Amino acid sequence: SDHERTFVMIKPDAFARGLVGNVISRLEDRGLKLVGIKVINMPEERAEEHYAEHTDKPFFDDLIEFITAGPVVPMVWEGQDATRQVRQMIGETDPLEADSGTIRGDFALDLGRNVVHAADHEDEGANEREIAIHFDEDELIDYDQHDAGWLYE
């Protein structure tokens, strides 16, 4: 029940396939508050920092090549239990295991092309670390969400 910020990123496959608006709409419709967003080509060093936990995995090189292959959309979303809410909306890492109705379950087929990244709620410092990698503090916007009184008790 914590009001918190979570890091989410639309991957190059989704960008190329015209799914940017669709992913953002789902997060907006849920009631989450958008506090940061940009479009970038991710530099290789930043990609390696972002996926540092996977450095020794056999899929690491392919993952870095993929995430730097085209524009991505890093975002910060805020809300009650935002990390777990987003993780639930995204679905399992492997689209084959992701339920229909989740973003990966609706838009993806392949583990290596799974549309969206979100910080792991089981990794304590993930949000702070990933937000700091991709955003300066002054790029995160402070404003009142006009419908907050109807989203939260």
Give me the residues that bind Mg ion (CB under 5 A), please. Answer: 120
Catalogue the E-assigned strands of the chain: 3-10, 33-37, 73-80, 116-118
Q: Is 59 in the site for ligand YYY (CB under 6 A)?
A: yes
CA distances from 48 to 51, 61, 83, 84, 130 (A): 5, 9, 22, 24, 12
Q: Which of 50, 54, 117, 134 is catalytic?
A: 117
Q: Which residue is nearest to Mg ion (CB)?
A: 120
121 binds, among ligand YYY, Mg ion, none (CB under 5 to 8 A by kind): none
Q: How far is 72 from 152, CA to CA, in rounded Å? A: 31
Q: How far is 47 from 85, CA to CA, in rounded Å? A: 25
Q: How far is 76 from 38, CA to CA, in rounded Å? A: 10
Closest approach of Cβ 63 to ligand YYY, in Å?
A: 5
Site of tokens 């967003």: 37
Q: Is 114 in the site for ligand YYY (CB under 6 A)?
A: yes
Q: Is 111 in the site for ligand YYY (CB under 6 A)?
A: yes
140 binds, among ligand YYY, Mg ion, none (CB under 5 to 8 A by kind): none
Interface contacts to ligand YYY, rule CB under 6 A = 54, 59, 63, 93, 111-112, 114, 117, 120
Catalytic positions are 117
